Structure 1
Amino acid sequence: MSKSIFITGTGTDIGKTYVTGLIVKKLKEAGENAAYYKAAMSGNDRRADGSLIPGDALFVKKTSGIEQPLEQMCPYIYENAYSPHLASRIEGNPVEMDVVKEGYKNVCEKYDYITMEGSGGILCPICFDEAKIQLEDIIHELDMPSIIIADAGLGTINSVVLTVEYMKSHDLPIKGIIFNNYHPGNVMEDDNIFMCEYMTGIKTLAKVKKYDKELDIDVELLKGLYS
């Protein structure tokens, strides 16, 4: 039976895809049948034939070394680097929950550990005009716990606490926080992490430095976060 976890962040460009790649790589190197999934992906380039390249999925695939085809990784791909609700308003092909669920089900039938990445932060609107779908609706529909990715630097206390409080109030289980762009020995970043743990009661799972190629976490602990 497959297990999964959702990767969200305190905002966009926080490093969700980078950390997700390291997570999937850790599982792959441990011999696990790991896969990646994302409901909607914005800000993608086009191939010579005009088709869109799912950039985040391609990054995770290359980083982790998994053999999962790109076509299985994301049902909705947009060119404009906007929230999916706005990108689809401009480009068409709005997100439908049933399509997301079907794609996820297909991945679960083939792989044991599914790491699903969100779009933007926890409040990202996925569809608005045709249906009202928020990112949290997808998490609820697929019944996943989450890991929060946060930057270790200035301002993270506010963004982490607000994200955690929102998720708690909306019954979105949190397994822990991974801090990205961490500089060992930096007094402010170490204090940020301490204060985030103190103010939220959520534990730190790992600290990722810039250009890290491995995630510093015990693989059995990592596997235990999936449900």
Structure 2
Amino acid sequence: MHNLQQQGESVLGMKPLASGAETTDEGLRNEDALRIQAQCSQEIPYSSVNPLVYQPPISPHLAARAKGQPIRLDEIQQAYNHLQGQADRVVVEGVGGWHVPLGDSITLADLARTLDLPMILVVGVRLGCLNHALMTAECILNSGVQLKGWVANLVDPEMHAVDDNILTLQSWLPAPCLGEVPFLEAPSPEQVATYLDGPLLDAIQ
């Protein structure tokens, strides 16, 4: 979001679903969604950023089932469309993994298709990331969704052969690398943005 704003665009963020929230005086609040809200180009209600929020840190479909309110993709679509009319860009963060269930017969992949969004894959660089990243990229493409790029995010500072692993990902993943983020103790959006390719991000439509 910060990179796009640096390119002169107005940007809003959205995390349609979030599990693992704390109870506050204003209702349930998810930490990731609050960070996204803080980065928006203009003030918008928390409910616009994160329309579906659940307290237990479990799969969204289980949290929704426990609440007795099934997740409806059309409601998320309406919330997304509302944001779309207020900014140049709307950046949407997923939840869980590509095939995490959102209901008895729908997954995050169905949500991506519903919103018709190009995807950026964030690869947590750690032991096992090659298999995980390649499988996820294959699933994204097989779902009929565009994979526009990926970001290497070092989450294990003790990992061996980091550069070789990133080179392998660059060779195998069918999309450009948009940046390599080193291990950072308490990263700020401004700090992370310095490791990303702003023009490449701006070119994603």
Shorter-chain TM-score range: 0.7 to 0.9
Q: For residue 20 of structure 2, what is the aligned residue in structure 1? A: 43
Choose the corresponding residue for 2:70, options 82, 91, 94. 94
Give the deviation of 1:29 after TM superposition.
Answer: 3.6
Q: Confirm whether residue 84 of structure 1 aligns to residue 63 of structure 2.
A: no
Q: Which amino acid aligns with 2:69?
A: N
Q: Residue 132 of structure 2: SS of its match in structure 1?
A: helix
- Count of aligned pairs between the two proteins: 197
Give the deviation of 1:86 after TM superposition.
Answer: 0.5
Q: Which amino acid aligns with 1:219?
A: G
- Alpha carbons of structure 1 residues 203 and 142: separation in structure 2 relative to 1, 3 Å: same
Give the deviation of 1:183 after TM superposition.
Answer: 8.1
Q: Residue 220 of structure 1: SS of its match in structure 2?
A: helix
Q: For residue 51 of structure 2, what is the aligned residue in structure 1? A: 75
Say if 2:99 and 2:109, in contact at 8 Å, map to a contact too: yes
TM-score by length of 2: 0.87
Say if 1:153 and 1:192, in contact at 8 Å, map to a contact too: no
Q: 2:161 & 2:202 partners in 1: Cα distance?
A: 31
Q: For residue 100 of structure 2, what is the aligned residue in structure 1? A: 124
Q: For residue 223 of structure 1, what is the aligned residue in structure 2? A: 202
Give the deviation of 1:133 after TM superposition.
Answer: 1.8
Runs of 4+ residues over 3 Å off in structure 1:
none
Give the deviation of 1:72 after TM superposition.
Answer: 1.1
Q: 2:202 & 2:179 partners in 1: Cα distance?
A: 14
Q: 2:68 & 2:122 partners in 1: Cα distance?
A: 30
Q: Residue 125 of structure 1: SS of its match in structure 2?
A: coil
Identical columns (%): 27
Give the deviation of 1:25 after TM superposition.
Answer: 1.8
Say if 2:16 and 2:76, in contact at 8 Å, map to a contact too: yes
Say if 2:12 and 2:90, in contact at 8 Å, map to a contact too: yes
- Could you list the per-position Cα deviations for residues 19-47 of structure 1 after superposition, in whole angstroms to 9, with x for gaps in the alignment? xxxxx122234432100112211101011
TM-score by length of 1: 0.79
Choose the corresponding residue for 1:137, options 104, 107, 110. 110
Q: For residue 34 of structure 1, what is the aligned residue in structure 2? A: 11
Say if 1:126 and 1:134, in contact at 8 Å, map to a contact too: yes
Q: 1:67 & 1:157 partners in 2: Cα distance?
A: 38
Q: 1:56 & 1:92 partners in 2: Cα distance?
A: 24
Q: Residue 123 of structure 2: SS of its match in structure 1?
A: strand
- Alpha carbons of structure 1 residues 68 and 124: separation in structure 2 relative to 1, 3 Å: farther
Q: Tell me, which stretches of 5 or more residues in structure 2 are unaligned?
A: none
Q: Confirm whether residue 206 of structure 1 aligns to residue 185 of structure 2.
A: no
Q: Residue 144 of structure 2: SS of its match in structure 1?
A: coil
Q: For residue 57 of structure 1, what is the aligned residue in structure 2? A: 33
Q: For residue 146 of structure 1, what is the aligned residue in structure 2? A: 119
Say if 2:7 and 2:202, in contact at 8 Å, map to a contact too: no
Say if 1:150 and 1:178, in contact at 8 Å, map to a contact too: yes
Say if 1:147 and 1:174, in contact at 8 Å, map to a contact too: yes
Identify the structure with bigger relative contact order (alpha carbons < 8 Å, sequence gap 6+). Answer: 1
Q: Which amino acid aligns with 1:58?
A: L
- Could you list the per-position Cα deviations for residues 46-90 of structure 1 after superposition, in whole angstroms to 9, with x for gaps in the alignment? 1136x211322211233x363332221122110011111011111
Q: Residue 32 of structure 1: SS of its match in structure 2?
A: coil
Q: 1:66 & 1:57 partners in 2: Cα distance?
A: 15
